[in-house]
Every structure is written in structure tokens, then in C-alpha cells.
Amino acid sequence: MSEIKHIFVPKHSVLSKKEAEELLEKYSIDKSQLPKIKLRDPALPKNAKIGDIIKIERKTEKGKIIYYRVVVP
């Protein structure tokens, strides 16, 4: 898998273990409650593994919107 760099593909990055823990604690959720993203999704960074939390940054006219997904097989 290679990272896709394209104007229509928002930035995808893998959260560190600490960032992931802080995110889950902030929202009082478990990884299983996050939306899913398939490991074979071409937008994923090369270093993404099953169970990682991915931060997706989309730019809009009103600013940046951040989404989170957990990588699944």
C-alpha cells in the first residue's frame, strides 16, 4: 500500500498510542465504538496496522474538520 497524495484525498495519519488513549478517554469510548476503515483502503498511511486509530483531516470553507477511524481487516 502506498500513501495517496491527491487534492481530493484528505490527510490520513496514524495516532500514537498516547494520542489514541487520550482520544478514547476524552470521549469515554472504546475503539470498537469508532467508525471503521479497511486496511486495504488506499488512503491509509503505509505504516497503518489493524487496530490503529486514524486521524482524517478534511479542509472545508469553514476550516478543518477532523474524523477518526479504527483500522479493521
pLDDT for 2: 47
Task: Give the span between the Cα atoms of 10 and 4, in whole angstroms.
Answer: 9
In CATH, the architecture of 11-72 is Alpha-Beta Complex (3.90)
- What is the separation of C-alpha 54 from the centre of its chain, rounded to a whole number of angstroms? 2
Backbone angles phi, psi at 55, to 5 degrees: -100, 125
Check: CB of residue 53 under 8 Å from CB of residue 15: yes
pLDDT for 7: 62
Cβ atoms within 10 Å, residue 31: 15
Q: What are the residue ranges spanned by the domains of the chain? A: 11-72
State pLDDT tens for residues 6-33: 567 889 999 999 999 999 999 999 999 9
* Kind of pairing between the strands at 63-72 and 36-38: parallel
State pLDDT tens for residues 17-73: 999 999 999 999 999 999 999 999 999 999 999 999 999 999 889 899 999 999 999
